Amino acid sequence: MLDAVRFLAERGLGSTAFPGEYGGQDDPGASLAIFESLAFGDLSVLIKFGVQFGLFGGSVHQLGTERHHSAYLEAIGRLELPGCYAMTETGHGSNVRDLETTATYDDRTGEIVIDTPTEAAAKAWIGNAACHGQMATVFARLIVAGENQGVHAVLVPIRDPAGNVSAGVRIEDRGLKEGLNGVDNGRIWFTSVRVPRDNLLDRFACIDESGAYTSAIPSSARRFFTMLRTLVAGRVSIASASLSAAKVGLTIAVRHTDQRRQFGPDGADEQPLLDYLLLQRALLPDLAATIAAHFAVRSLQRDYATSKGQDESELEVTAAALKAYVSEQCVETLQACREACGGQGYLAENRFAALKADTDVFTTFEGANLVLYQLVAKGLLSRFKHEISDLKVWGAVKYLAELAETAVTELNPVVTRRTDQEHLLDASFHRAAFQYREERLLRSVARRFRARLAEGMDSFQALNDCQDHVVTLARAHVERVLIERIQDGVAEAPTPGLSETLAAVSALFALSRIEHHSGWYLESGYLEPPKSRAIRTTVNDLCRDVRPQARILVDAFGVPEAVLPDLGREGPLSS
């Protein structure tokens, strides 16, 4: 795996996001495109590549200053300095604020002393640590003059170029994993490891020559969250990689079921598997969801590539939302694809075993999905609170009246009972249904949260009591984003034929999700039973409509033939 990553580094593919003066191209968009393309192939290569250039290199680039850039970025980009991103600990993963590793400043020597005070503080799941890493970006509690300044990042050598482990450092292989076993995940312990003061990545805070801690961000909480916003690149990357893995699975499954024949009417030829409604139902809604995610992830990538590291809270929320949703969708899609391919899909040579094993952890690293959904919901609730509080009294009354008017319109019996195809296939109905679900969930979560506070709960307890509601809201938000982005794609399609095909895909995505949430829509009065049944029938019709285009759609994903197994390549298969 290291040789494969070195091959890419030698061609300048690892440093594209770095500044030009340090061997890069200052092009985060190109970096994302490379990462997404690599995800069509061996995902162990992808993750090892991402650890070196995205996490380790990205931390030096985003958290360090010119001193660190000039000293390390070129060597990182050429893989002359293999490195690690040592954040997660045995006892703390998502809760970064309470990491236990310490980085204590010794004002007598001007050094920072790194220690692992407890077994729970051992760095865990650290990519590149077990075999190849020579330096680690270590996230630790920075203690200056006896005062804990919160979690900061420090560069710590862990091996010399010959591979000898540094004094005071202990490293163990993490062991055999479900997948991604080409990535050398390890555990790291530190015992009084001393590094120069300048090894503190000091973009947001520094220790000056007198030993005083200073920061342009006085609030420790805001400083912490500003630092964590640099994680957005990793979340955009995992959303992109999840999308690519789902595209690989769908390409294999759709091509296979389009060619393999089984059963048929008496006296007639056997039918392709994809002609059966059950197989269409198994694959085509996932194909539609993946295409919707494609447009949403493309929009996110463009926003990230042009953000230039600005404080983009909206970008942070969208990245968390799409990372969580697209990685979940990827896992579900790959399972459906494997089953659609029957026993052939169970063979290792046909890639599903590795794809499923390797992507399973995508729902956990770069932020566990359930935690990310809570981050998304908190962002939505905060924005909702500000929108209300920023309005004058009359404006607030008008705003609430407009929401009420929208609800009355959407719940009009004429609307809730409409079952005609013109209405059910109308893009404005789809968008309105997704918007209604998100807005209603947002208001109901806000009411539930306020009620818990009124009962005397603190905000932590109140949010914990609403977690089921909060996660449902976050997923509804992502689905609203997806329907809007794919509808944008329909509007921007360069030809009428493509627009018509994408419109059918968009409708299939929308109605299959409304069908999935039919219980909620029925409970809320948005649908009445006849309309719910009509939607189910229309999903069947849309599956039949999309089926002739399915092969063309997966071919448009552009998955290289070289990474596809025989099961997913051109040519007929015998039954």
CATH of the domain at 185: 2.40.110.10
What pLDDT does residue 278 have? 96
What's the rounded mean pLDDT across residues 273-281?
A: 96
Question: What CATH number corresponds to the domain at position 541?
Answer: 1.20.140.10
Both 108 and 22 in one domain: the answer is: no
Residue 376: pLDDT over 90: yes
Both 255 and 293 in one domain: the answer is: yes
What pLDDT does residue 391 have? 47
Provide the percentage of residues in the chain whose pLDDT is more than 90: 82
Tokens describing residue 420:
């005609």
How many alpha carbons fall within 13 Å on the CB side of residue 31?
29
Residue 570: pLDDT over 80: no
Residue 575: pLDDT over 80: no
What pLDDT does residue 571 have? 55
Convert 283-311 to b/e letters by CB count within 10 Å (16 or more is b). bbbbbbbbbbbbbbbbbbbeebbebeeee
Cβ neighbours, 10 Å, residue 187: 22
Both 19 and 137 in one domain: the answer is: no
The per-residue pLDDT for range 531-544, each reduced to its tens digit, is: 999 999 999 999 99
Both 401 and 483 in one domain: the answer is: yes
The per-residue pLDDT for range 8-37, each reduced to its tens digit, is: 999 999 999 999 999 999 999 999 999 999
Both 44 and 191 in one domain: the answer is: no
Both 62 and 180 in one domain: the answer is: no
What is the C-alpha separation between 65 and 517, in angstroms, rounded?
48
How many alpha carbons fall within 13 Å on the CB side of residue 200?
30
> Using 50, 70 and 90 to split pLDDT, how confident is the model at 311?
low
The better pLDDT of the pair 394, 349 is held by: 349
What pLDDT does residue 93 have? 87
Strand ranges for 37-121 from DSSP E: 83-86, 102-106, 111-115
User: Rounded to the nearest 5°, which phi and psi values hold at 502?
Assistant: -65, -30
Average pLDDT, the chain: 92
The better pLDDT of the pair 357, 222 is held by: 357
Both 67 and 88 in one domain: the answer is: no
The per-residue pLDDT for range 377-408, each reduced to its tens digit, is: 999 988 887 765 654 444 544 544 555 555 55
574 occurs within a structural domain: no
The per-residue pLDDT for range 168-224, each reduced to its tens digit, is: 999 999 999 999 999 999 999 999 999 999 999 999 999 999 999 999 988 888 888
The better pLDDT of the pair 432, 460 is held by: 432
Domain boundary at 77, 101, 131, which?
A: 77
Both 528 and 426 in one domain: the answer is: yes
Residue 354: pLDDT over 70: yes
pTM: 0.92
What is the C-alpha separation between 167 and 97, in angstroms, rounded?
28
Quick one: how many helices (H) and strands (E) in the chain?
A: 23, 13
Structural domain including 515 reads 233-555
What pLDDT does residue 308 have? 60
Both 70 and 103 in one domain: the answer is: no
What pLDDT does residue 393 have? 44
Question: What CATH number corresponds to the domain at position 28?
Answer: 1.10.540.10
Q: Coil, strand, or helix at residue 192?
A: coil
Both 419 and 531 in one domain: the answer is: yes
Both 369 and 459 in one domain: the answer is: yes
What pLDDT does residue 403 have? 52
Q: Coil, strand, or helix at residue 115?
A: strand
* Domains contained in the chain, number: 3
Both 420 and 405 in one domain: the answer is: yes
473 occurs within a structural domain: yes
DSSP 13-37: -SSTTS-GGGTS-S-HHHHHHHHHH
What pLDDT does residue 388 have? 57
Residue 529: pLDDT over 60: yes
227 occurs within a structural domain: no
